Structure 1
Amino acid sequence: MHFDGDLRHALIQAAVTALDEVGADHLSLRDVARRIGVSHTAPAHHFTDKAGLLTAVAVEGFHLFAEHLGEALAATRDGQPLDQLPALARAYAEFAERHPGRFEVMFRPALIRPDDPDYQRAGDAAFAALREHIGLCQRQGWRPDVPTATLAAATWAFSHGIATLRMHGALARHHLDSSLDGVELLVTTMLGRSGQGPA
């Protein structure tokens, strides 16, 4: 990879490639600069330090993440909102599989600047979309007595746990089908769904 045009964007993409290859703990600004053929001091002009660069990666990651989940909902828009939750969990795990580097830094505040306004806006927007969908499920009879934010957080935690266990190879130890279809099965089972209306 070599720099051609937008240096900031090139640095972010080089960082994503490095994350996929070596992980966040071993990423260095010097290596990122080397990957696009610029001076080792070049990243500091845009990001100051490693945390700044990883924050930019995380912000971009959340935008892609929200888009990916939105596409999953659009593809299943003919179904009931509750019946779409397994597809959302599948999309969550699929994003982690396709973008392991981005996924790693998006949810590790110690690696980034969690008080960065762009990061907070991007993360909050992704969660707001989930909360809105959970609200739709509740209005159709699913757990209407539970605060929407609490139910959305529980749904997020469940989906994130599956995606993370799967990404690290631990899911297969207790759930033989760790494919994306298997992810959907786990969520369908937890919801107690079999194609009927809201329970």
Structure 2
Amino acid sequence: MSGLPDWMWPPRPEGWFADDLDHLPEAPRRTELIDGALVFVLSPQRIWHARVVDALVSRLGRQKPSDIEVERQITVRLDERNRSEPDFLIATPPYGLDVTFFEPHQVRLVGEVESPESAHRDRTVKLRKYAEAGIPHYWRVEDEDGSPVVHAYELDAPTRQYVATGIHRHELRTPVPFTIEIDLDALLSGRRG
């Protein structure tokens, strides 16, 4: 344990707080805070993951209304002890170009593209945390034999839990958080679907 760099030690006995992430320049670029513990995304991402994220951000960006923005890999301050970094999100401006995180009330949808190392967090921990924070929509994208499959969830406000609204293969069509139509089969082929 003595071989850890000083910046990896929590600044207080109760651990890390969400705002501490802005003061850790030595931390890896993809660092999240889950229940007061730092989580580093250190495993190399597959090209499949990167291309799916890029394609979804591009398709959503072309379809979004003017009062909505699509961002990638910006953290969301879920509460004092949790600050996650979804692969992409849909947010409501205004916000400046120098922000390092969003508050849940600004976020309309968060999306996680699963990797082998993130599957458990994406399916259980983040599903629960995003719902508890009140984020209206959550998409979890799985690799099913090389094809992206979107598991869509919508927040049930009284229970603060997500309800599954669909498993989308080949095509995703939804009226929320805005009208979206995506040819999932075209995401990796380079076609503009």
Q: Same fold (TM over 0.5)?
A: no
Q: Which has the larger radius of gyration?
A: 1
Going by fraction, where is strand more abundant, 1 or 2?
Answer: 2
**Higher RCO structure (Cα 8 Å, ≥6 apart):** 1
Q: TM-score, normalised by structure 2?
A: 0.29
Q: TM-score, normalised by structure 1?
A: 0.29
